[in-house]
Structure 1
Amino acid sequence: MASFTTDHIQSAYTEAEARYVATNPVSRAAYEAATASLPGGNTRSVLHWEPYPLWISSAAGYTLRDADGHAYVDLLGEYSAGLYGHSNPVLQAAITETVQRGLSYGGPHAAETRLAALIRERFRSIEHIRFTNSGTEANLMALAAAKAFTGRYRGKVVVFEGAYHGGVFVFPFGCKDVWRAKGAAEKSKYAALRALNAPHEFLVATYNDIASVDALVSEDGGDGIAAILLEPMLGSGGGVCATPEFLAHLRRRADELGALLIFDEVMTSRMYAGGGVQSELHIYPDLTTLGKYFGGGMSFGAFGGRRDAMALFDPRAPGALPHAGTFNNNVLTMNVGAAGLENVFTPEKARALHELGNEVRDKINSLDKDGDAGKRRLRVLGCGSILVIHFTKTRTEDIVSPANWIVDEDPRLLDLFHLEMLNEGFYLARRGYASLNLALLEHEGRKELDRFVEAVSRFGVKFRDLIA
């Protein structure tokens, strides 16, 4: 029966793909031209899908337009970086005003102080902060700080299966053996991650599994661990949220070990009132890494936290750690980012967007009242304005790690869902990821989200036999 179902999913996908190809010839031509200079026509892996991605020509508000002239409601939100939408007038004015005064100063300026102060107001755990160009860089620097501060220069880093902390910190489900005994690691399909990832010694634990963390610590002895690094919600790991008990346990273990606890809130900083998951649970890390929308659409990253740990980078101190980066304090990023936090993404707007995401999630999860009867159903994970679609038999409340949803999820269903939603006029990630932007809070945007819920409902009816 499983093979029969898979065959029918593939048949439905093939039909949807043929329609996609027929309606997007210009994007296809643009993609084929790109392959002449870019490997696979791509310079950002997550934006590729088969048979080829759409070529975007313009964007405004919550709407994207592709090279073939189609319009889409943008539910991807640049993987949470596009929080402000595509044409916020406050940000546009800040860009124009800044450009008129010059693009790059090569010296300190008021805007970096302003943005740093605004971020400190939202994150109680951040006493001092330094800027980078991306979340990846932020995590690289945070781990460097942890090793230097603890004195464990060759210290290990506890991370979690399914996590993603940037282009050189990739830990997909099934990768554990890569950092275990040799032999199995060398034969793993994830063995190449050793070349891709930064050369730290990682201890890979199971998300939301206290026992798995304690076992790794016990096996290691603990005194060689410099940091525990985790996302309070797994972004690439399917939108699984950490339990308060799990986060509290990691806080205690870090203290016992003399290690630094690092929260990667690159995606989750937008949650609740815009102070991240830590602000709502009142569980505070030693260091926090940030990225995405804080630059107002410009390249941005940051790491910050305890004053004593961040003092390592104080250039006034003898032997201070150097932290370079031509664009760390780029005036465009600093000014536009500050304008966004000060005048657009206020705590009130942050809370409203968070609640809107929860509303959409609840509506979709309530579409199928029989969804927990041991059959594979469409379910939505995530937190607040980040939503992640899955097709699994596991009830949402029972999903505590990627292992719970990946066990029976057919990726062809997600591929089919993606193409069907594009056909309905909704742009989201092929893996089912969506992040809402502020433009959708307006009346017309809310209507589009209602239309999205209806489209998801139609998908469930049309392909009920394939899902179940």
Structure 2
Amino acid sequence: MPDQALVNSDLQSALAEAKQAYVDRNPRSFARHQDACVAMPGGNTRTTLHNAPFPLTVVRGEGCRLWDADGHEYIDVLGEYTAGIYGHSHPVIRAAIDKALNHGWNFGGRNENEGKLAKLIADRMPSIDLVRFTNSGTEGNVMALAGARVYAQRKGRTKATKVMVFHGGYHGGVLYFVSGGSPVNMPYDYVVAPYNDIEGTKALLAKHGEEIFAVLLEPMQGSHGCLPGDVDFLKAVREETKARGITMIFDEVMTSRLSPGGLQAKHGITPDMTTLGKYIGGGMSFGAFGGKREIMELFDPTKPDALPHAGTFNNNALTMAAGVAGYGEVYTAEAAKELNDRGDRIRERLNAICSKAGVAFQFSGIGSMMTAHATSRPIRTAADIASSNQDAKELFFFDMSAAGIWIARRGFVALNVMIGDAEGDRFVAAVEEFVSARKALLQPS
């Protein structure tokens, strides 16, 4: 076994060198960051995009490539954290947006595309009879919970005031449970359960079932390291919630891309409600919540006791046009299968490289979504993800940047439809070079 103290010391030195090279290579991005700090706290308006010592400034995107302020070109395997599934300036979506712009975009009225997009979604997502739009996945989850709570009350479950969520879950900036919760979370009373733990979850439902009006979970936790939900676990939650009259909500804001009908279709598990977002709006600001008719009709404004759901840009003309083009013409069922098959092949190649080298490095995920982990433990629980060496993951980020691969600092990857065989090969080659060059620093502890 290697001397771990020596390995850690060498890793720290390598990381310091990589950071300095990053600083030296990107003076214009640093200047842009300093300018932004004048009027924004830390120069930031989206926490996810903050990277120390400073984030790069993107000035252009085309196809599956990005260019930063210093002129460096990158293959974009981040895909705007799943929202950028169409790549940059996809011609079909660009044409739809141009057409919408030609007809104006702030109507204060209905437009011709909102009904079309709603039908596309209802036809593909097994759990959705009716759907309503929001401006983000966060809003979609907020409104789904609001509807589920009123639904429970009107069904006579007046004691049901709590929400069950899961360790590692991320449902937006105000529903964040990745690192023990967030002080800006919605003020619900949460029951936080262990993900992929059937018995632990059942025990909490047995204890708190009468008080819980909704169980909100991702069928694969995206922001928590692409941690797939065990199918048996997801089925057990479905059975328990159905038996107890609790609304089960699948957050498929990220995972709906992983098959033509989301992971619910892939796994054959139908929740009561589903929340959506990201790419379905054609890369524009978008979110949605939908589900079975009995719940969604609570929002029917033709009924005297309807719940209000406002939002100036819920049906904005640009998103509706881009969504119909993107979801209806570009990301078809056939395209979904092709992209996710490509992702599976790439992830298998990456893991084969890591396994052959005998390093504590691997990639988890499903289809076109994956995350790097600097650990040799199989990725199934929060503890497995926590075992990852964060310094090694950070070194991976800086090495990928130097190699011209645009990736999230946390090692997250979401492929887009513009990536072909050549770009996939370049990504694999960059990871292979990282594993080869850094092998001595990636040894199992």
TM range (shorter): over 0.9
Q: What SS does the corresponding residue of 1:50 show, helix, strand or coil?
A: coil
Deviations 1:394-430 (A, max 9, x none): 03xxx222211212x2211111100101111100000
1:376 Cα deviation after fit: 5.3
2:104 is matched with: 102
Q: What SS does the corresponding residue of 1:368 show, helix, strand or coil?
A: helix
Q: What SS does the corresponding residue of 1:290 show, helix, strand or coil?
A: strand
Name which of structure 1's ranges 76-85 and 147-156 shifts more when overlaid on structure 2: 147-156
Deviations 1:376-397 (A, max 9, x none): 52100011001100110203xx
Q: Distance in 1 between matches of 2:164 and 2:328?
A: 35
1:41 Cα deviation after fit: 0.6
1:452 is matched with: 427
2:198 is matched with: 210
2:48 is matched with: 46
Q: What SS does the corresponding residue of 2:16 show, helix, strand or coil?
A: helix
1:465 Cα deviation after fit: 1.1
Taking structure 2 as the reference length, the TM-score comes to 0.96
Deviations 1:69-114 (A, max 9, x none): 0100001100000000001111110011000101111111221000
Trace 1:124-273 onto structure 2 (pairs within 5 A): 124-151=126-153, 152=157, 155-173=161-179, 175=180, 193=182, 195-220=183-208, 222-272=209-259
Q: Distance in 2 between matches of 1:279 and 1:432?
A: 27
1:34 is matched with: 36
Matched, 1:339 2:325: yes
Deviations 1:301-354 (A, max 9, x none): 000010000010001111110000000010111111001122111110110000
2:313 is matched with: 327
Q: Distance in 2 between matches of 1:306 and 1:122?
A: 14
1:240 Cα deviation after fit: 0.7
Q: What SS does the corresponding residue of 2:269 show, helix, strand or coil?
A: coil
Matched, 1:425 2:425: no
| RMSD of aligned alpha carbons | 1.2
Q: Distance in 1 between matches of 2:317 and 2:172?
A: 24
Among residues 122, 125, 132, which one is paired with 1:123 in the alignment? 125
Q: Distance in 2 between matches of 1:69 and 1:406?
A: 36
2:363 is matched with: 380
Please list every run of 5 or more consecutive structure 2 residues that lacks an aligned counterpart in the other structure.
Answer: none
Deviations 1:37-79 (A, max 9, x none): 1111100011111111110001000010000001000011000
1:368 Cα deviation after fit: 3.5
Among residues 349, 371, 374, which one is paired with 1:391 in the alignment? 374
Q: Distance in 1 between matches of 2:407 and 2:348?
A: 18
Corresponding letter in the other structure for 2:95: A
For this pair of structures, how many residues does the alignment match?
437
Structure 1 pair 325/219, CA: closer, same or farther in 2 (3 Å)? same
Name which of structure 1's ranges 107-116 and 352-361 shifts more when overlaid on structure 2: 107-116
Q: Is the 8 A contact 2:359 2:435 kept in 1?
A: no
2:301 is matched with: 315
Corresponding letter in the other structure for 1:165: H
Q: Distance in 1 between matches of 2:123 and 2:280?
A: 14
Q: Is the 8 A contact 1:63 1:72 kept in 2?
A: yes
Q: Is the 8 A contact 1:207 1:400 kept in 2?
A: no
1:370 Cα deviation after fit: 5.0
Q: Is the 8 A contact 1:376 1:394 kept in 2?
A: no
Q: Distance in 2 between matches of 1:3 and 1:170?
A: 34
Q: Is the 8 A contact 2:148 2:214 kept in 1?
A: yes
Corresponding letter in the other structure for 1:416: L
Corresponding letter in the other structure for 1:419: F
Among residues 18, 21, 24, which one is paired with 2:20 in the alignment? 18
Taking structure 1 as the reference length, the TM-score comes to 0.91
1:179 is matched with: none
